[in-house]
């Protein structure tokens, strides 16, 4: 391994294999890349003749195992990452307008934020939804809302990511149904459902059922999609929320990959072949404030996942080992003080994601420590990505920081330390058992508390917060969700209920109930109920009755 001759040979294989194949399908953005002073920029820079040890095994070439240097042979020389701003508020109609605004501004993918009642499986008129309708995202009660949400947006032209977990199967079914109405069959739909319940128990809180029943819903979607939706990402295994809850970078990688292992285990246990679903697993990470550690983290996560899939699960296809991920800049690093400074933070964090080889990116808006972002703030956030992409040239060669002593060292360290955690979690019986025992929660809580103490005693500097502070009046243009939205949404929901064929709804809900009581795949039955305009709350209500509800242990 790693001999000069071996490496030259692998380089040739890479150049004539994956690169040539990719170029034939997706030509690069330019014939030739060069710097501002006219120096040509090659696709890739490799180790000097002297530094070949272990190169092939630990780094290798982009698009080749273990993918440390990136998942595609040409990366951003072909196409920039997908610029995908997470958005959604108020009603489907208002969010539809925001989507169209973002697409007109050059955004290249959609990402839906749902309100909390939707995420927890309640219709807008449920008493528990009071005060929450349309607040942190858009309220979607039935297919009727979903049709409005995508009105005038052709689903064969966009890819859509949905931050939805407990009721992910239901929202996916609604998306399929909208596609059908537009004449786009489900095998042409591109996008992602988050569908990652394990991190909800430790970090995000929008679970409905217990782990066992939730895992069944997840493996049902894996199976359904592996047969019907070859372009769909069936899960986005998310470290972002673990990080936002306070974990370190190492813990973020470790706990996310441990959850990933649990999903692969569960799918194999219900009889799926690992190579039939693994290529559609996707990931989601945060980009926090430690510049080099974050870049190393992305590279380490890619390499570690590749090794896990190959060594632990015996995946045969390279595509099963290839970690594709979305990145979001870290919301928890935004300050309410001197909020314009957040634009600079977001710029650096976005750059980290790009230097780490992300497939898509959300840049936070400067005002998110205060409220939902205004249209103007969202525009600056999107422009930040566009400036990085179109003006800086960082995408003109692949993985430009590779070979830096520091970056490679940090990459090795993050991988090693994350693996130590994964072994510990294995010893506890895997991620679900470690969550049940409160191990992962306690680890995150301890890190969060230490971080806060470091800010409070100023050993960690946050500019504008504990150093370089100013007296300021908070004057900001907030985005307000009109309280009338709740009543309006409820009014439309009740109208829809009166107009639909009630007998058809009841029939499909009964079918869903008996399927839930058996072992059959729930996806087709959910799809039937969705098409009959059964509401999200009604479907989740049936599943709540059969599966029960989870009560999280309160761990400080």
Nearer to other proteins by Cβ, of 116 and 281: the residue is: 116
Question: Which region, left, alpha or beta, applies to residue 148 given φ > 0 means left and ψ of -120 to 50 means alpha?
Answer: alpha
Task: With contacts defined by CB under 8 A, name the span among 302-310, 340-348, 395-403, 443-451 that binds other proteins.
Answer: 443-451
Q: For other proteins, which residue of 57, 452, 494, 514 counts as binding (CB under 8 A)? A: 452
**CA angle 288-292-298, nearest 5°?**
70
Q: For other proteins, which residue of 478, 501, 502, 548 counts as binding (CB under 8 A)? A: 478
Q: For other proteins, which residue of 41, 184, 343, 448 counts as binding (CB under 8 A)? A: 448
**CA angle 476-477-481, nearest 5°?**
125
Query: Rounded CA gap, 28 and 75, in Å?
Result: 9
Q: For other proteins, which residue of 59, 116, 162, 218 counts as binding (CB under 8 A)? A: 116
- Any contact of residue 438 with other proteins (CB under 8 A)? no
Q: For other proteins, which residue of 47, 73, 117, 191 counts as binding (CB under 8 A)? A: 117
- Any contact of residue 445 with other proteins (CB under 8 A)? yes
Q: For other proteins, which residue of 481, 509, 530, 534 counts as binding (CB under 8 A)? A: 481
Q: Is 325 helix (H, G, I), strand (E, B) or coil?
A: strand
Nearest to 44 by CA among 340, 464, 333, 401: 401
- Any contact of residue 398 with other proteins (CB under 8 A)? no
Nearer to other proteins by Cβ, of 55 and 240: the residue is: 240
Nearer to other proteins by Cβ, of 25 and 551: the residue is: 551
Q: x-or-dash pattern for other proteins, window 237-266, by CB under 8 A?
A: -------xxx--------------------
DSSP class per residue in 230-275: TTEE-EEEE-HHHHHTT--HHHHHHHHHHHHHHHHHHHHHTT--HH
Task: With contacts defined by CB under 8 A, name the span among 120-128, 257-265, 355-363, 516-524 that binds other proteins.
Answer: 120-128
Site for other proteins in 277-336 (CB under 8 A): 332, 334-336
- Cβ atoms of 435 and 199 within 8 Å: the answer is no
Task: With contacts defined by CB under 8 A, name the span among 261-269, 277-285, 344-352, 458-466 that binds other proteins.
Answer: 458-466
Residues contacting 68, CB < 8 A, separation 6+ = 58, 59, 60, 299, 300, 302, 303, 399, 402, 411
Q: For other proteins, which residue of 128, 344, 387, 487 counts as binding (CB under 8 A)? A: 128
Q: Return the number of other C-beta atoms located less than 10 Å from residue 157's C-beta.
A: 9
Q: For other proteins, which residue of 94, 200, 213, 294 counts as binding (CB under 8 A)? A: 200
Nearer to other proteins by Cβ, of 115 and 528: the residue is: 115
Q: For other proteins, which residue of 3, 35, 57, 130 counts as binding (CB under 8 A)? A: 130
**CA angle 476-383-293, nearest 5°?**
95
Nearer to other proteins by Cβ, of 166 and 509: the residue is: 166
Nearer to other proteins by Cβ, of 390 and 478: the residue is: 478
- Any contact of residue 178 with other proteins (CB under 8 A)? no
Nearer to other proteins by Cβ, of 116 and 431: the residue is: 116
Query: Rounded CA gap, 310 and 60, in Å?
Result: 16
- Helix or strand run (H / E) with residue 161: strand 159-162
Nearest to 401 by CA among 298, 327, 323: 298
Min separation Cβ 381 and other proteins, Å: 17
Query: Strand 110-112 vs strand 232-233: parallel, antiparallel, or unpaired?
Result: unpaired
- Any contact of residue 105 with other proteins (CB under 8 A)? no
The encoded tokens of residue 61 equal: 């070439």
- Any contact of residue 129 with other proteins (CB under 8 A)? yes
Query: Rounded CA gap, 397 and 178, in Å?
Result: 39
Tell me the site size for other proteins, rule CB under 8 A: 46
Site for other proteins in 349-388 (CB under 8 A): 369-372
- Cβ atoms of 332 and 244 within 8 Å: the answer is yes
Residues contacting 345, CB < 8 A, separation 6+ = 289, 329, 333, 334
Contact residues: other proteins, CB under 8 A: 116-117, 119-120, 122, 128-132, 135-136, 200, 203-206, 244-246, 332, 334-337, 369-372, 445, 448-449, 452-453, 455-456, 462, 465-466, 474, 478, 481, 483, 552, 554, 556
């Amino acid at each position: 391994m790693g001999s000069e001759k071996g490496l030259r040979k692998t380089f040739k294989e890479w150049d004539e294999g994956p690169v040539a194949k990719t170029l034939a399908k997706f030509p690069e953005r330019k014939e030739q890349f060069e710097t501002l002073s006219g120096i040509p920029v090659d696709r890739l820079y490799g180790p000097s003749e002297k530094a070949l040890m272990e190169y092939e095994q630990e780094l290798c070439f982009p698009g080749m195992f273990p993918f440390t240097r990136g998942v595609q042979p040409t990366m951003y020389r072909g196409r920039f990452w997908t610029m995908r701003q997470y958005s959604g508020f108020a009603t489907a109609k208002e969010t539809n307008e925001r989507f169209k605004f973002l697409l007109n501004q050059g955004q290249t993918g959609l990402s839906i934020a749902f309100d909390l009642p939707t995420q927890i499986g309640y219709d807008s008129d449920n008493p528990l939804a009071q005060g929450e309708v349309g607040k942190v995202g858009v309220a979607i009660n039935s297919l009727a809302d979903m049709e409005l949400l995508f009105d005038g947006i052709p689903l064969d032209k966009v890819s859509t990511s949905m931050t939805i977990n407990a009721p992910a199967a239901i929202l996916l079914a609604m998306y399929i149904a909208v596609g059908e109405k537009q004449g786009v069959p489900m095998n042409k739909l591109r996008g992602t459902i988050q569908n990652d319940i394990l991190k909800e128990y430790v970090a995000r809180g929008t679970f409905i059922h217990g782990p066992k029943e939730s895992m069944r819903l997840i493996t049902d979607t894996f199976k359904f999609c592996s047969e019907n939706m070859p372009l769909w990402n069936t899960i986005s295994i998310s470290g972002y929320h673990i990080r936002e809850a306070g974990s370190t970078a190492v813990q973020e990688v470790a706990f996310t990959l441990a959850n990933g292992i649990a999903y692969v285990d569960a799918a194999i246990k219900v009889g799926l072949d690992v190579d039939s679903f693994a290529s559609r697993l996707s990931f989601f990470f945060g980009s926090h404030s430690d510049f080099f550690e974050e870049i190393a983290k992305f590279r380490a996560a890619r390499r570690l996942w590749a090794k896990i899939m190959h060594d632990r699960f015996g995946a045969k296809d390279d595509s099963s080992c290839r970690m594709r991920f979305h990145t979001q800049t870290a919301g928890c690093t935004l300050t309410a003080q001197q909020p314009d400074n957040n634009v600079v933070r977001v710029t650096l964090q976005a750059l980290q994601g790009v230097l780490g080889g992300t497939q898509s990116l959300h840049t936070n808006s400067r005002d998110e420590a205060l409220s939902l972002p205004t249209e103007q703030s969202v525009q600056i956030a999107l422009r930040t990505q566009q400036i990085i992409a179109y003006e800086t040239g960082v995408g003109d060669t692949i993985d430009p920081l590779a070979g830096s002593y520091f970056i490679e060292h940090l990459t090795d360290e993050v991988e090693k330390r994350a693996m130590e955690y994964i072994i510990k979690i294995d010893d506890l019986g895997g991620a679900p058992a470690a969550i049940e025992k409160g191990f992962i929660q306690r680890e995150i809580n301890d890190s969060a508390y230490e971080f806060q103490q470091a800010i409070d005693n100023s050993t960690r500097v946050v500019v504008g917060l504990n150093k370089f502070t100013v007296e300021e009046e908070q004057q900001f243009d907030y985005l307000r969700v009109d309280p009338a939205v709740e009543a309006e949404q409820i009014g439309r929901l009740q109208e829809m209920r009166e107009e639909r064929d009630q007998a058809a709804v009841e029939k499909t809900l009964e079918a869903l109930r008996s399927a839930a009581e058996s072992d059959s795949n729930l996806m087709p039955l959910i799809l039937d109920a969705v098409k009959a305009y059964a509401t999200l709350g009604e479907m989740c209500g049936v599943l709540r009755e059969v599966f029960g509800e989870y009560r999280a242990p309160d761990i400080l």
